[in-house]
Structures are given as structure tokens and as C-alpha cells.
């Protein structure tokens, strides 16, 4: 057995240039992902949560090779994964991504058969006929094999998302980045797609980076959770620990905003102001201008990770 985790991310930064003027020069950068480190084991799910704009999609896209990071390392069992612009076929196959919008992520002019076997053909993975391969893949995600002759518009949102899942798993990937993959679906359909993702994880030993703004959804399938704020992870640990005993004031605020069934109404912590712009992150701890517990040190010193039992928290309180 290889002792290295499936995925190791070290100090990853993905910045977008802000271009202005006739010369189109970079006047600054949006620091969407600004020094993120974590690891993910085979067959496990890391939930990634945080407010809109904190960099979740940018992180997912950087892992999937769709954005080119500015610096940092991504390793697969210790082996460096080249950035998107230098990534060969093999890496595109090993890391797949599923997007939120099943209505725009599938080509309306392609049949389901072509959608789910396009990648397999490209990677020389088709052994028998295309139709046979497509039938196997769609039945694996719980669709009728005859669906292969139909077009995306003939399916419901949940069925289309199953087609996206089929396309991703057809390449036998090791890591699937799910970016708000169930967010556009009704609650009951959401539950079905989540069950499907869990079943496929067991059958194929898949690892997921599961991005969602919905903490309830994240809690149903993540083994670990990472909470992101303005381009950085502020708290990371086992799902139950992070969601039931949040330690970072930001995680506490995020959770207090969610009504939880069967729980006493928690006191809702209202954070002052909007999140600051990732183009000009605050000094010190970037959460300090909104933090109800900010201290003097928080203004100037960016906190390192503190280990609190199984949880890591980037906060001067500990
Ligand atoms: N292609 C891009 N060019 C410039 N800035 C971008 C680009 N993509 C994202 N950004 C900016 O980077 C920051 C992080 O965006 P990102 O989409 O990663 O956040 P997110 O956490 O996925 O948000 P949401 O929950 O709304 O999906 C935001 O400030 C966003 O405006
Ligand atoms: Mg996003």
C-alpha cells in the first residue's frame, strides 16, 4: 500500500489578473485561492463550504485542470499533477468534474450515447461497440439503457445530472470534483443523486471534493469538511466535529445562519458587513474586520493552523 494520500494540495494559489486600460495590463489580482493546503484519502469525501465568492469553484477548477494556479503543488499519491495547461490526457482522465447546471453542461446536440462515450473513445477505452459501452454506463447511474438514443432536453434536471455523473465516471476517474452538483435540484431529487454518488463511491472507491453552499447536503456525504473564507481554509476536520462543534468564529457564524431540524433555535450570529474583496484581502487574519471576537493580534498576524483534537483551525483564539 502506498502511504501517500490520494490527493495532497500544498499552498495552492489561483489568482485572476484584473486587466484595465488599452494596454490590457494586469492592475492587480483577484486572489480567489490564496494558499490552500489539504489532503484527501482514497474513497473519501471532503466537503468544501463557505460564502459565495470565497474561492470554492476556483479551487475545484484548479484541481480539475481548468484553471492554471499561480503557485503551489497538487500531488496524486506523491506524484506532482501538472497544471491545466501542461496536463496530459492521463491526468484529465483521473480527475473529473461535475458542474451545477445540468442544463448547460451537456451539449444539446449530442445524444446521451455520444455524451457518455466521447471521453472513452478519446482515451481508447472502448472495447466493444459504443452503444454497448453507453448502455452499461447509463445503467450504472440508474437510467434506462434505452436512454442512450435520446437528447439531454428529453430528461428532467435530476436525470440530466445522472448523465453528467455517467460522463464523469465513464473514464474511471480517481477523484471527482462535484461543484454544487445537486444545488439546482429539488430536495427529493437531491437525495436520490446523493445516494447515487455514495453508491458509486463504494463501488469504484472514488474520492470526491464536494463543493456546496448547503451545509445540510455537505453533512450527509462528507467524511471531512473544509471551511473556506476569502481564498483560505479556516477550519478543517471530521464532518461531525466541524459542523457540531465549530471552533472558528467564521464557521460558528456560518452554522448559526442555518436552521437545523430537531435543534433548539440557535442564536444567530450576524456578521457585520459584506465579505471584503479578494483583490484586497485584509491584513492579518482576513476574517478580523467581521469577527465578533477579533483581538489586536488578528489585525497584523495571519494565524497558522492550530491543532485542536482532530480539527485544524486557523485562529488566534486557540
Ligand atoms: N475567471 C475569473 N476571472 C476573474 N475573477 C474570477 C474568475 N472566476 C472567479 N473570479 C473571482 O474569484 C473569486 C472566487 O470565485 P469563485 O467562483 O471561486 O467562488 P465560489 O466560492 O465558487 O462562489 P459561489 O458560491 O458563488 O459559487 C470571486 O471574487 C470571483 O469574482
Ligand atoms: Mg462556485
Q: Which residue has the cell 453552499?
A: 213
The predicted pLDDT at position 245 comes to 94
Give dist(CA 171, CA 181) in Å, integer.
Answer: 18
The rounded Å distance from CA 56 to ligand 2 centre is: 5
Residue of minimum CA distance from atom 3 in ligand 1: 16
The rounded Å distance from CA 125 to ligand 2 centre is: 31
Give dist(CA 197, CA 215) in Å, integer.
Answer: 17
The predicted pLDDT at position 102 comes to 67
The predicted pLDDT at position 263 comes to 57
Ligand closest to Cα of 178 equals 2
Ligand closest to Cα of 279 equals 1
Q: Is 2 a residue whose pLDDT tops 70?
A: no
Q: pTM, whole model, 2 decimals?
A: 0.94
User: Partners of 96 in the beta sheet?
Assistant: 176
CB 284 within 8 A of CB 298: yes
SS3 185: coil
Domain ranges of the chain: 7-109+151-313
Q: Is 89 a residue whose pLDDT tops 90?
A: no
Q: Return the number of other C-beta atoms located less than 10 Å from residue 153's C-beta.
A: 9
Give dist(CA 21, CA 9) in Å, integer.
Answer: 35
The rounded Å distance from CA 89 to ligand 1 centre is: 26
H or E stretch at 301 = none
The predicted pLDDT at position 262 comes to 57
Residue of minimum CA distance from atom 16 in ligand 1: 55
Which ligand 1 atom is nearest residue 18's CA? 4
Q: From residue 243, how far is each of 179, 222, 224, 238 by CA, in Å?
A: 20, 11, 10, 9
Please report, rounded to a whole number, the percentage of residues in the chain having pLDDT higher than 70: 96
The rounded Å distance from CA 97 to ligand 2 centre is: 13
Supply the mean pLDDT for the chain.
92
Which ligand 1 atom is nearest residue 17's CA? 4
Region of 226 (left: φ > 0; alpha: ψ -120 to 50; beta: rest) is beta
Give dist(CA 248, CA 225) in Å, integer.
Answer: 13
Q: Which amino acids bring their CB within 6 angstroms of ligand 1?
A: 16, 30, 32, 50, 52-58, 213, 278
pLDDT digits (tens, 9 = 90+) for 173-202: 999 999 999 998 999 999 999 999 999 999
Long-range pairs, 269-274, Cβ under 8 A, ≥24:
none
The rounded Å distance from CA 52 to ligand 2 centre is: 7
Ligand closest to Cα of 26 equals 1
CB 216 within 8 A of CB 258: yes
Q: From residue 295, how far is each of 74, 236, 304 by CA, in Å?
A: 34, 22, 15
Domain 7-109+151-313 has CATH 3.40.50.300: yes
Reading the block at residue 135, the C-alpha cell is 448502455
Amino acid at each position: 500500500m502506498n502511504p501517500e494520500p490520494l490527493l495532497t494540495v500544498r499552498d495552492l494559489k489561483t489568482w485572476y489578473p484584473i486587466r484595465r486600460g488599452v494596454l490590457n495590463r494586469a492592475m492587480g489580482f483577484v486572489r480567489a485561492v490564496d494558499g490552500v493546503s489539504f489532503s484527501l484519502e482514497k474513497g473519501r469525501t471532503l466537503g468544501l463550504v463557505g460564502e459565495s465568492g470565497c474561492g470554492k469553484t476556483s479551487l475545484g477548477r484548479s484541481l480539475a485542470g481548468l484553471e492554471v494556479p499561480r503557485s503551489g503543488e497538487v500531488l496524486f499519491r506523491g506524484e506532482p499533477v501538472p497544471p491545466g495547461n501542461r496536463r496530459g490526457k492521463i491526468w484529465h482522465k483521473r480527475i473529473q468534474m461535475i458542474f451545477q447546471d445540468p442544463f448547460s453542461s451537456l451539449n444539446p446536440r449530442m445524444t446521451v450515447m455520444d455524451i457518455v462515450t466521447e471521453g472513452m473513445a478519446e482515451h481508447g477505452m472502448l472495447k466493444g461497440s459504443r452503444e454497448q459501452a453507453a448502455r452499461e454506463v447509463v445503467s450504472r447511474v440508474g437510467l434506462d439503457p434505452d436512454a442512450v438514443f435520446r437528447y439531454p432536453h428529453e430528461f428532467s434536471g435530476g436525470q440530466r445530472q445522472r448523465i453528467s455523473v455517467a460522463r464523469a465516471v465513464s473514464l474511471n476517474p480517481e477523484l471527482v470534483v462535484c461543484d454544487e452538483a445537486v444545488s439546482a435540484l429539488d430536495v427529493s431529487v437531491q437525495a436520490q443523486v446523493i445516494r447515487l454518488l455514495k453508491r458509486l463511491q463504494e463501488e469504484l472507491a472514488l474520492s470526491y471534493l464536494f463543493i456546496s453552499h448547503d451545509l445540510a447536503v455537505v453533512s450527509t456525504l462528507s467524511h471531512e469538511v473544509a471551511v473556506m473564507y476569502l481564498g483560505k481554509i479556516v477550519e478543517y476536520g471530521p464532518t461531525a466535529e466541524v459542523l457540531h462543534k465549530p471552533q472558528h468564529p467564521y464557521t460558528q457564524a456560518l452554522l448559526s445562519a442555518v436552521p437545523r431540524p430537531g435543534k433548539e433555535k440557535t442564536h444567530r450570529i450576524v456578521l457585520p458587513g459584506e465579505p471584503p474583496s479578494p483583490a484586497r484581502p485584509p491584513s492579518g487574519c482576513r476574517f478580523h474586520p467581521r469577527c465578533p471576537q477579533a483581538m489586536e493580534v488578528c489585525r497584523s498576524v495571519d494565524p497558522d493552523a492550530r491543532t485542536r483534537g482532530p480539527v485544524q483551525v486557523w485562529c488566534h483564539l486557540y
